[in-house]
Structure 1
Amino acid sequence: MCQNPPVSDLREQNGRTGAQAIERALAVLRCFETGEVTKGVSEIARLTGLSVSTTHRLTRALTDGGLLMRAPRGDRYQLGPALLVLGMRAAEQLGYDQVLPVLQELAAATGESVNLGIRAGREVQVVLDVASSQPLRFDQARGTRVPLHTSAMGKCLIAGDDDLAATIDHLGDLARLTRNTITSPDALHAELRAVRDRGWALNDEERVPGVRAVAVPVRDSGERVLAAIAVQGPAVRLTEDRFEHVVELSALTAAKIAPLLQNR
């Protein structure tokens, strides 16, 4: 004899189903953070690991809500106008619209590309970027996500954690991206202690061969890390004799933008 499940069980099941739908929709939107501005359903399905039928249903729902829109040509999608409104409002509320000119000043002073990054789970997410004017440069577009342990910004973001061992354990396997990538938990622990002591971090070709980055944390009045600023460029140009000057300029920039971020 069939019996209906208890109401509490139905609510729990519906809650899981609803959360899963939201997670899948967010995964679809995140496909547009970097890369080509338009994407087809098959490409989105491949990037998210979802079935084509599920992806088609999600893209249609997101399009109905204005979060996506059909591209002018072909059966492809792009970000929709509703996200523009939300993005502009978020940039204003978070202070990013006022921070960008300050980062542009840092890029001009150092001659290198500059990023502002925030902690996003086990990754750093670039939220603002300023490209160097140099022909030979290294840029990271806003929306880019990179593993915390391979990034100077990432090291700054986690170096102040109370329990570094627990933080490192949460990162899981420390993937090797170059021969310089720190893959030992003990070595990363020592590196983060050094970052905490000196107040800045270095990415010495640990994610991309030939590229270095120097980063400093942006802290609020209570010393909580809000974000990190990175100055990055070719290792042949961002040499050790420049580190001190770049750190000094970056720290001044961090002090300027901290009030713009923490008062939001």
Structure 2
Amino acid sequence: MNSDRIDRALSVLLNLSQHPDGRTLKHLSEDLGLPMSSAHDLLQAMVEIDAVRTIGPRNYALGTKAIALSLTIVDSISLRNIARQYLAALSSAISENVYLGVRTGDTVSYVDRFEASQVLSVVMQLGSERPLHASSVGKLMAAYNPDLEQKVLSASTLHAYTPFTKTNREELRREYARIREQGFSMSDGESVEGIVGLSTPIWDHTGTAVAAVHVSAPRGRLAEDRRPFVIDQLRQAGNGISTQLGADLQDRGARLSAEA
């Protein structure tokens, strides 16, 4: 690959990083000053190595490899770096694998993980996308980001990953409202049978839910009588990370009380 092609590939990644909801082939072609055919060939090559992914007909977004690379490059100043000490303490406190989930365009992904020493544990692949209607971290981010919620509620079809996946839009609308009211989300066998997931939000200085603290475990280890303790620990970790990001949690609590 010559230097000009590498430069164009980097320009594609920079462009897509500024458009988390994706960019059409036509717009990318115009932005890069390339003929449509050349832009298409370049994008297809990047799709093959997972640096770019398709999210619709001739619509492109950053791929999981590009996201993983960007996280490595900015690790010293990133959310991921700030969150690590809290995730480590959380994993130790609840003796379960814990994750940091973030929004990636119109989906969510896990970008960090701390593993506990359980014999039987749930290990989710970093960079893997999680559904907005069938995972606790996905439902949490959709509940707190109106555009993501609308994507789910207006989708033509919603995939049923298990017999317990919620695919009724009115039921999901109520679920998102309940998440906002209670401040956490749960999935119970909705994406993987027998697995319970719990997630709480991470807020930035603007009051936006930018990420989630998440745990997944077999249902027997996240039974109803243990969930309040685990949720409390998740909240403490999320609040600690939020504070480091400059979130004003007291102001947010006051606004929620006023809205209630």
TM-score of the pair, normalised by structure 1: 0.68
Match of 2:49, SS state, is helix
Work out the CA distance in 2 between the residues paired with 1:189 and 1:230.
Answer: 21
- How far is the alpha carbon of 1:164 from its aligned partner? 7.4
- CA 1:229/1:15 → structure 2, altered by over 3 Å: closer, same or farther? farther
- Trace 1:42-191 onto structure 2 (pairs within 5 A): 87-162=71-146, 166-191=150-175
Work out the CA distance in 1 between the residues paired with 2:78 and 2:224.
Answer: 34
- How far is the alpha carbon of 1:88 from its aligned partner? 3.1
- Trace 1:193-208 onto structure 2 (pairs within 5 A): 193-208=177-192
Say which of 182, 204, 212 aligns to 1:228.
212
- CA 1:124/1:24 → structure 2, altered by over 3 Å: closer, same or farther? same
Match of 1:206, SS state, is coil
- Trace 1:19-34 onto structure 2 (pairs within 5 A): 19-21=39-41, 23-30=43-50
- CA 1:197/1:93 → structure 2, altered by over 3 Å: closer, same or farther? same
Deviation digits for residues 55-85 of structure 1, max 9, x if unmatched? xxxxxxxxxxxxxxxxxxxxxxxx8xxx86x
Q: Highest Rg: 1 or 2?
A: 1
Work out the CA distance in 1 between the residues paired with 2:77 and 2:233.
Answer: 26
Work out the CA distance in 2 between the residues paired with 1:229 and 1:223.
Answer: 16
Match of 2:40, SS state, is helix
Work out the CA distance in 1 between the residues paired with 2:104 and 2:51.
Answer: 16
Aligned 8 A contact 1:122 1:171 in 2: no
Deviation digits for residues 154-191 of structure 1, max 9, x if unmatched? 11111023467633235442100111101111111111
Aligned 8 A contact 2:80 2:100 in 1: no
Q: Percent identity?
A: 27
Deviation digits for residues 59-116 of structure 1, max 9, x if unmatched? xxxxxxxxxxxxxxxxxxxx8xxx86x5432222323223222201101111111111
1:219 aligns with 2:203: yes
Aligned 8 A contact 1:96 1:261 in 2: no
| Structure 2, unaligned runs of 5 or more | 1-28, 55-64, 248-260
| Number of aligned positions between the proteins | 206
- CA 1:96/1:155 → structure 2, altered by over 3 Å: closer, same or farther? same
Work out the CA distance in 2 between the residues paired with 1:209 and 1:224.
Answer: 31
Q: Which residue of 1 aligns with 2:34?
A: 14
Match of 1:241, SS state, is coil
1:121 partner amino acid: G
Aligned 8 A contact 1:115 1:128 in 2: yes
2:196 partner amino acid: R
- How far is the alpha carbon of 1:124 from its aligned partner? 1.5
- How far is the alpha carbon of 1:24 from its aligned partner? 2.8
Aligned 8 A contact 2:187 2:198 in 1: yes
> For structure 1, which segment, 108-117 or 161-170, has the greater mean C-alpha deviation from structure 2 after superposition?
161-170
Work out the CA distance in 1 between the residues paired with 2:149 and 2:126.
Answer: 30
Aligned 8 A contact 1:164 1:189 in 2: no
TM-score of the pair, normalised by structure 2: 0.69
- How far is the alpha carbon of 1:121 from its aligned partner? 3.2
Q: Which residue of 2 aligns with 1:7?
A: none
2:203 partner amino acid: R
